[in-house]
Amino acid sequence: MPKKYNISFGKRLFDLLFSFFALLFFSPLMIIIFIAIKLESKGPALYCQKRVGSGYKIFVLYKFRTMYENSEQQLPKLSQMNAYLKSLREEGEPVSLDECLDCKAQGKPCSPVLHIDGVEICENHYLRLKRGQVLQKVFFKAENDPRVTRVGRFLRQYHLDEIPQFLNVLKGDMSVVGNRPLPMYEAEFLTIDEWSYRFLAPAGITGLWQVRASEIHRPEERIALDNQYALTRGFWTDLRILFKTIITFFRFQKVSY
C-alpha cells in the first residue's frame, strides 16, 4: 500500500488561496446552477459521494448533481454502452464467460485449468476475463448516458459540476492539481503495484490525465498518466497542468474529469 502523500506548505498555501478566490468568483454562478438543478429534477442539488484519494484515504467529495436520483443502480444495465468495453471487444478481448479461443484452437488447455465457483476455466482465459471485468467496473464512459439530466449535460460539458470540489480543497481532502479521486467500488480494483502508484499523489480537481484526455483511448493509458504524475509531480508540473486547464476552461473545450 502506498503511503499517504504529504502536501508541502507551499502547495497547501496555493491550494487555499486559489480555492478561496475560485469559490468567490463562481459564487453567483453556483446559485444559478443550484436553482436550475432543483427545478429540473427531484433530489439534492449537491451530490456527495465517498471517494478514495492519496494513500487510499476516504473522504466525501462534493459535486453538483448531474444525474437523476439512484442512477448508480442502473450502471450494471448499461454495460453495453461502456466505450471502454466496446474497445476491448473490437480488439478481440473476452468480456464474458465464453470458451477460450486458444484452448479451442489447440484442442487442449492452453494453460493450467482452474476450478472457480464450480466452473473449469483455463488460467489465461480467467486472467483475461478478470481484466475485462476490472475495466468495466473501474471505468465507465458512454455517449448519451440516459442517467444524465439536461442540466447535467450542460454542467458536464463545461465542467461546472466540479466547482464545489474547491470546498474539498479548503478542507484538505484534495489539492487543485493531482489525480482524480476514485469512487470506493472502483479504487478497490486498483490495488496491485502496477496501478497503486497513482495513490501516492494527492487527489486533485484537475491533473495530467485531464489535460491529455484527447490522446487517451484505453484505460491502461489513463492509469499510466496517473502513475506518471505521482512519480514526477512538482511545482512546475502542477503549474503547467493548471495553466492548460484554465486555458481549456475559458475556451469552453471539453476536458475529461
Q: What are the mean pLDDT values of the chain's consecutive 10-residue runs (257 residues total)?
A: 62 95 96 95 92 91 88 53 49 50 74 60 64 51 73 90 96 94 76 75 90 71 86 90 82 53
Give me the pLDDT at residue 119, please.
Answer: 57
Q: Give the angle 81-163-146 at the CA atoms, nearest 5°.
A: 20
Which residues neighbour 107 within 8 Å (Cβ) at sequence distance 6 or greater?
Answer: none
Give me the pLDDT at residue 124, please.
Answer: 66
User: What's this model's pTM, rounded to 2 decimal places?
Assistant: 0.70
Give me the pLDDT at residue 128, please.
Answer: 61
Are the CB atoms for 167 and 144 separated by under 8 Å?
A: no
Give me the pLDDT at residue 4, please.
Answer: 47
Q: How far apart, in Å, do the first and last CA atoms of the chain sit?
A: 25
Cα–Cα distance measured from residue 168 to residue 29, given in angstroms and rounded to the nearest whole number = 18
Around Cβ 88, how many Cβ atoms within 10 Å? 19
Q: Give the angle 161-22-64 at the CA atoms, nearest 5°.
A: 15
